[in-house]
């Protein structure tokens, strides 16, 4: 039989359409199954992890085990059915696509389309000139881009290795945000020098927006990628909130409920949400006075949640979180069974723990020394350094007394501690003693803070006491440079932006004074309500948590 | 005097040697479990381990024979039969055998890296791999890029999906054709310095032929195929490093694809049919003014060649530090340096293991230093090569080539045979072209 276009082409066309439709339908179903599998992740999500977290031994009977097994079987069945569907669908899709293409090639080979009428002929010389020009320009661009890349790489590498005391890998990406209590490394030093100086909470002048916080709490805001993360809690509810930095709108909120244990008693000036959350660019981590610790993605999807045990702490747990290099550090100081834990940020499993024997309410900070990174914690008696990778105790110094609320500060190669009823101390961690241990250079007595952490910049240390007295100390010798009495005391910690110190008093009046050896008040601006949390200072603005509202202050 | 044995030179050879011994030990050692098996209650029996047997040696020679046979068949259908149908049939056979059966490995394109590693690092390559590398080149010396026409499964897959090929404007096409030269240089450099086989890692079709791949690789393959619907053979034209070498060989090939079996009558019917823009048009001799301009341009390009070479060589020299970071030894040393500097807190397992033995650390530093030196000189040479390629291209573009009829460009033509059916003189001794034959139904 002769191959006739009239007979063959419609047949091939029909088959082509059929295979094209089959490929299209299979492709859509395939994509839907793939998306569904990755969204629901039956082996990770669902009820099974909740069961795994149950610690109530009374319910761990045969029925529970059977239920867990049935759920496990169901989750596996769902997972493997989806995988099987994807595999089969892929084969069908490629087979249909291959048949379509083969038919198309057969048709065009047996019955080639007539050639199109030739268009206007472009002069060979013109073509060649165009291509030569394009190649010349592209080559120049390649040379420029490669050179710029190479120079930039060399510069970045040098700055990482030479300025090792002040830089952390990938820190450029993160230090521009405020990702944990008191910003980068928890030291209270902002990456930007342009924090707003003046505003007025009464007239809203210099305040871009103000939004009500859904739940009470003394925790401070953390900011990353234009998202503000905040925690709030009552005796019955624990929540994590995410707000849009541009308009203050609530983007999401998530409940944290890991255990059925009753909430502990806490002091009303601590509350259930005193610890500040921490962010590592991938997840947000939050802990509450109940000992419940949870991780959420930046979009609010739960990642993991664990119960650290109810903290035995008469005011209530208030130590904030900090993260670095895939580990989340949890300072859980209690009367006699405290611990410092490093939690794997991906899985929520504990990588290491170090015992802590003395109570405190302070938060950990990270410092760089000649020996590498160190994690600095204070308690009611000691300041202690740990190896962040292993949890090994590196050194400690007995320099505190009373009930330690303020965290340590770091600057000019020295660690500083201060606490009401004790002393302020300066410990040199760079020029160590003959035994290689840090040396306490000086100690200072005077009006000391009971909540606000100190902040150090250059050779100056600033202390903000609950009595309203702010003191500036020369870190070289521990002498007083100046003191100033403000009207109200301070719970919020001072932060440094550029050459100024920013400090909110308990009434919500923000004082800005020069970070200098002589006192110079630059401005005082009212927020309009009490402020106890520490502000997050970013590029030209700050996020402030008041008693009831959250503010973005751009300044006048 | 007693000669002391030092383990230092053996430091890095230890792991590969152990792996080799493990592989050679075969089933005996493989049957041992690394960790004790878990014990299950309820009567569950853990099945015994099953290991597939190694591929028989003669099958590798069969691969070489299959390649040789396919190249001969391609020559026959392209030059003797001048049949697009034959090319299409051979393409399907190649996809089936070299693609799906052999899972696309080892292919002549990837063999560039094996040969480079063999030359520069003493990496052992079997004779069959060398033959797979060299056979298409030998054929190219006589018959042009006949390997690309229907033997290469990657080219064949792209050819099949080229449903609506569009002409790429010369302003885009010409710069894109620099990429294969860069890719070729990078492939040789990486293999020669032991940094890895990038051509295999970035092979867009490996996942398709193996019916399994990580999602990014599969997405890359699908992206190339979807692009291939409108831009015929995008990988062959704008990426394939082997195509560069085949292009060089094709320049001196004796037999080349001729659109018309006789003398071209300049009917222009084939002008737009080449999916890879490899048809050269006849050109009238340039006018006096044009010739004057081209001579002037030629002088400038000649003068600029040293500038191009110097610029690219300097670029390569400066890029070396950044590029060397891709080398595993340099990468590992960088991790150790960052940890030692305190810029990174956590310590990796690899660096912890290295710190156990100072000799191995010293060996790592030496190896990383050698890799950096290799990258520095390698990239400088690559820069010089690119300068020559670009300078040569610009000069070539400014020279008039006498051409009377429509013909194929030996470097770009992949000998797919699509143009045959459009030439009125095609198979003049047999029959008319089919579109003419069926003109009643058109």
pLDDT tens-digit series, residues A459-474: 999 999 999 999 999 9
Does the beta-carbon distance from A164 to B161 stay under 8 Å?
no
Q: Which residue would you say has higher pLDDT here, B286 or B145?
A: B145
* Range 165-204 of B in CB contact (< 8 A) with A: 170-175, 178
**pLDDT > 70? residue B161:** yes
Q: Which residue would you say has higher pLDDT here, A133 or B237?
A: B237
Tokens standing for residue B252? 């001196």
Whole-number Å distance between alpha carbons of A181 and A271: 17
Domain ranges of chain A: 5-110, 171-553
Q: Which residue would you say has higher pLDDT here, A68 or A403?
A: A403
Does the beta-carbon distance from B319 to A389 stay under 8 Å?
no
Whole-number Å distance between alpha carbons of B24 and B160: 41
DSSP-derived letter for residue A184 is G
Q: How high is the pLDDT of residue B44?
A: 77
Q: Which residue among A6, A111, A136 places its CB closest to the CB of B394?
A: A136
Q: How high is the pLDDT of residue B340?
A: 66
* SS3 state of residue A430: coil
When pLDDT is cut at 50, 70 and 90, the band that residue A506 belongs to is very high
- pLDDT tens per residue across span A257-306: 877 788 899 998 899 999 999 999 889 999 999 999 999 999 999 988 88
In chain B, what residues touch A125 (CB-CB under 8 Å)?
A: 283, 286, 290, 294
* Range 323-362 of B in CB contact (< 8 A) with A: 337-347
Whole-number Å distance between alpha carbons of A536 and A545: 9
Determine the average pLDDT of the residues in A106-130.
73
3-state secondary structure B414-428: CCCCCCHHHCCCCCC
When pLDDT is cut at 50, 70 and 90, the band that residue B431 belongs to is low
Lowest mean pLDDT among A197-206, A434-443, A524-533, B64-73: A434-443
In chain A, what residues touch B271 (CB-CB under 8 Å)?
A: 115, 118
DSSP string, B168-219: PPHHHHHHHTTHHHHHHHHHHHHHHHTS--HHHHT-TTHHHHHT---HHHHH
Test the A interface: residue of B214, B340, B344, B389 with most A CBs within 10 Å? B344
Q: How high is the pLDDT of residue A366?
A: 92
Tokens standing for residue A202? 């009464």
**pLDDT > 90? residue A527:** yes
Q: How big, in percent rounded to 5, are the helix, strand and coil portions of chain A?
A: 25, 30, 45
In chain A, what residues touch B337 (CB-CB under 8 Å)?
A: 161
What radius of gyration do chain B's Cα atoms show? 27
Q: How high is the pLDDT of residue A112?
A: 75
Q: Chain B within 8 Å of A94 (Cβ-Cβ)?
A: yes
- pLDDT tens per residue across span B367-396: 999 999 999 999 999 999 999 999 888 888
Q: Which residue would you say has higher pLDDT here, B322 or B3?
A: B322
Q: How high is the pLDDT of residue A277?
A: 96
**pLDDT > 50? residue A357:** yes
Q: Chain A within 8 Å of B303 (Cβ-Cβ)?
A: no
Q: Which of B430, B431, B406 has its CA nearest to residue B419? A: B406
* SS3 state of residue B282: coil
**pLDDT > 70? residue B125:** yes
Q: How high is the pLDDT of residue A49?
A: 57
**pLDDT > 70? residue B438:** no
**pLDDT > 60? residue A511:** yes
- pLDDT tens per residue across span B186-225: 999 999 999 999 999 999 999 889 888 888 898 899 899 9
Q: Which residue among A118, A165, A373 places its CB closest to the CB of B272?
A: A118
When pLDDT is cut at 50, 70 and 90, the band that residue A165 belongs to is very low
In chain B, what residues touch A143 (CB-CB under 8 Å)?
A: 311-312, 315
Q: What percent of chain A has pLDDT over 90?
A: 51
Q: Chain A within 8 Å of B393 (Cβ-Cβ)?
A: yes
Beta-ladder partners of A338: A356
Q: Which of A437, A175, A279, A164 has its CA nearest to residue B345? A: A164
Whole-number Å distance between alpha carbons of B412 and B423: 20
When pLDDT is cut at 50, 70 and 90, the band that residue B355 belongs to is low
Q: Chain B within 8 Å of A325 (Cβ-Cβ)?
A: yes
Domain ranges of chain B: 58-283+404-427, 288-397
> B215 vs A76, A93, B103, B218, CA distance in Å?
22, 16, 17, 5
The pTM for the full model equals 0.58
Q: Which residue would you say has higher pLDDT here, A494 or B397?
A: A494
Q: How high is the pLDDT of residue A238?
A: 93
Find where tokens 């292009």 sit: B247
Q: Mean pLDDT across chain A, nearest whole number?
A: 86
Does the beta-carbon distance from A143 to B315 stay under 8 Å?
yes
* Range 168-227 of A in CB contact (< 8 A) with B: 168-169
Phi then psi dihedrals of residue A402, to 5 deg: 90, -140
* A157: closest chain B residue by CA: B322
- pLDDT tens per residue across span A374-396: 999 999 999 999 999 889 999 99
Whole-number Å distance between alpha carbons of A99 and A23: 10
Determine the average pLDDT of the residues in B12-25.
41
- pLDDT tens per residue across span A215-254: 999 999 999 989 999 999 999 999 999 999 999 999 999 9
Q: How high is the pLDDT of residue B432?
A: 52
Q: How high is the pLDDT of residue A382?
A: 92
3-state secondary structure A37-53: HHHHCCCCCCCHHHHHC
Q: Chain B within 8 Å of A104 (Cβ-Cβ)?
A: yes
Sequence-distant (6+) residues with CB within 8 A of A213 are: A230, A232, A241, A545, A548, A549, A550
Does the beta-carbon distance from A157 to B341 stay under 8 Å?
no
* Range 133-162 of A in CB contact (< 8 A) with B: 133-139, 142-143, 146-147, 149-151, 153-154, 157, 160-161
Residue A173 burial class via C-beta count within 10 angstroms: exposed 0-12, middle 13-18, buried 19 and up: exposed
Lowest mean pLDDT among A197-201, A345-349, B219-223: A345-349
Q: Which residue would you say has higher pLDDT here, A75 or B181?
A: B181
- CATH fold group of domain A171-553: Methylamine Dehydrogenase; Chain H (2.130.10)
Q: Which residue among B172, B271, B286 places its CB closest to the CB of A125?
A: B286
Tokens standing for residue A381? 């008696």
Shortest Cα–Cα distance, A450 to chain B (Å): 31
* Range 368-387 of A in CB contact (< 8 A) with B: 368-373
Q: Please compute, for residue A43, the number of CA atoms within 13 A of its CA located in the half-sphere on the CB side.
A: 9
CB A499 within 8 A of CB A492: no
Q: How high is the pLDDT of residue B30?
A: 45
């Amino acid at each position: 039989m002769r191959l006739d276009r009239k007979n063959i082409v419609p047949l091939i066309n029909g088959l082509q359409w059929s295979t094209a439709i089959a490929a299209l339908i299979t492709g859509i179903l395939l994509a839907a199954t793939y998306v569904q599998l990755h969204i629901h992740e039956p082996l990770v999500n669902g009820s099974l992890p909740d069961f795994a977290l149950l610690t109530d031994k009374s319910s761990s009977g045969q029925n529970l085990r059977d239920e867990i097994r049935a759920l496990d079987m169901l989750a596996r069945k769902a997972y493997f059915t989806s995988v099987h569907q994807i595999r089969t669908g892929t084969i069908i899709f490629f087979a249909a696509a291959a048949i379509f293409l083969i038919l198309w090639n057969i048709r065009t080979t047996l019955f080639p389309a007539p050639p199109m009428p030739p268009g206007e002929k472009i002069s060979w010389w013109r073509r060649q000139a165009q291509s030569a020009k394009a190649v010349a320009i592209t080559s120049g661009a390649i040379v420029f881009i490669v050179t710029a890349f190479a120079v930039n790489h060399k510069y970045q590498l040098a700055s990482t290795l030479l300025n090792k005391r002040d830089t952390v890998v990938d820190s450029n990406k993160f230090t521009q945000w405020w990702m944990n209590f008191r910003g980068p490394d928890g030291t209270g030093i902002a990456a930007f020098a342009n924090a707003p100086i003046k505003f007025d909470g009464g007239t809203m002048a210099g305040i871009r927006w103000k939004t009500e916080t859904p739940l009470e709490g003394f925790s401070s805001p953390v900011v990353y990628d234009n998202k503000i993360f905040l925690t709030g809690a009552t005796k019955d509810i624990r929540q994590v909130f995410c707000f849009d930095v541009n308009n203050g709108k609530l983007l999401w909120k998530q409940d944290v409920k890991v255990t059925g244990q009753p909430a502990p008693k806490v002091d009303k000036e601590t509350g259930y949400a005193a610890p500040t959350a921490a962010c590592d660019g991938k997840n947000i981590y939050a802990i509450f006075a109940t000992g419940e610790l949870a991780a959420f993605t930046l979009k609010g999807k739960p990642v993991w949640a664990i119960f650290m045990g109810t903290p035995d702490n008469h005011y209530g747990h208030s130590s904030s979180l900090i993260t670095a290099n895939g580990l989340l550090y949890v300072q859980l100081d209690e009367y006699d069974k405290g611990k410092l834990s490093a939690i794997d940020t991906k899985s929520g499993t504990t990588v290491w723990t170090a015992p802590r024997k003395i109570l405190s309410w302070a938060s950990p900070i990270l410092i760089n020394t000649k020996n590498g990174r160190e994690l600095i914690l204070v308690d009611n008696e000691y300041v202690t350094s740990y190896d962040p990778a292993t949890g090994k105790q590196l050194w400690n110094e007995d320099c505190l007394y009373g009930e330690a609320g303020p965290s340590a500060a770091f600057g000019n190669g020295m660690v500083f501690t201060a606490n009401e009823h004790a002393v302020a101390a300066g410990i040199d961690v760079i020029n160590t003693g003959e035994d290689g241990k840090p040396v306490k250079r000086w100690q200072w007595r005077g009006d000391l803070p009971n909540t606000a952490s100190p902040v150090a910049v250059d050779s100056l240390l600033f202390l903000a006491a609950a009595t309203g007295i702010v003191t500036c100390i020369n870190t070289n010798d521990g002498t007083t440079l100046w003191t100033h009495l403000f009207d109200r005391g301070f719970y919020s910690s001072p932060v440094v932006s550029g050459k100024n110190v920013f400090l909110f008093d308990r009434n919500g009046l923000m004082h800005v004074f020069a970070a200098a050896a002589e006192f110079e008040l630059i401005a005082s601006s009212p927020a309009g309500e009490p402020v106890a949390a520490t502000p997050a200072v970013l590029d030209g603005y700050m996020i402030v948590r008041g008693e009831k509202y959250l503010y973005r202050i751009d300044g006048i | 005097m007693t000669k002391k044995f030092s383990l230092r030179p053996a430091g890095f050879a230890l792991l590969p040697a152990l792996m080799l011994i493990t592989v050679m030990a075969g089933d005996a050692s493989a049957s041992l479990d690394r960790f004790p098996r878990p014990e299950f209650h309820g009567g569950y029996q853990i099945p015994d381990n099953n290991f597939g047997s190694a591929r028989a040696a003669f099958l590798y020679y069969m691969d070489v024979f299959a390649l040789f046979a396919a190249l001969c068949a391609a020559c026959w259908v392209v030059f003797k039969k001048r049949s697009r149908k034959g090319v299409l049939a051979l393409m399907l056979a190649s996809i089936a055998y070299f693609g799906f059966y052999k899972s696309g490995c080892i292919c002549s394109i990837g063999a560039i890296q094996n040969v480079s590693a063999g030359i520069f690092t003493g990496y052992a390559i079997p004779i069959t791999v060398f033959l797979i590398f060299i056979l298409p080149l030998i054929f190219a010396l006589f018959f042009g890029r006949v390997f690309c026409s229907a033997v290469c499964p990657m080219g064949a897959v792209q050819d099949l999906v080229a449903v609506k090929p569009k002409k790429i404007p010369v302003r885009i096409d010409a710069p894109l054709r620099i990429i294969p030269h860069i890719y070729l240089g990078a492939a040789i450099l990486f293999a020669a310095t032991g940094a890895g086989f990038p051509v295999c890692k970035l092979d867009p079709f490996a996942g398709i032929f193996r019916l399994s791949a990580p999602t990014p690789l599969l997405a890359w393959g699908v992206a190339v195929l979807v692009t291939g619907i409108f831009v015929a053979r995008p990988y062959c034209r704008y990426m394939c490093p082997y195509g560069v070498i085949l292009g060089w060989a094709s320049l001196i090939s004796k037999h080349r694809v001729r659109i018309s079996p006789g003398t071209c009558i300049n009917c222009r019917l084939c002008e737009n049919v080449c999916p890879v823009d490899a048809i050269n048009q006849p050109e009238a001799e340039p006018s006096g003014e044009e010739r004057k301009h081209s001579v002037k341009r030629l002088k400038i390009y000649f003068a600029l060649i040293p500038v191009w070479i110097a610029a690219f060589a300097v670029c390569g020299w400066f890029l070396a530090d950044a590029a060397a970071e891709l080398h595993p030894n340099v990468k590992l040393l960088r991790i150790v340096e960052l940890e030692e500097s305190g810029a990174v807190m956590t310590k990796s397992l690899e660096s912890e293991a290295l710190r156990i033995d100072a000799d191995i650390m010293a060996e790592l530093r030496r190896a990383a230093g050698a890799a950096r030196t290799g990258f520095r000189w390698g990239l400088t040479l690559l820069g010089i090569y690119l300068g020559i390629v670009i300078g040569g291209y610009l000069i070539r573009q400014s020279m008039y080539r006498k051409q009377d009829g429509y013909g194929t460009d030996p470097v770009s033509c992949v000998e797919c045979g699509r143009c045959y059916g459009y030439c009125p003189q095609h198979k003049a001794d047999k029959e008319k072209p089919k579109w003419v034959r069926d003109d009643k139904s058109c």
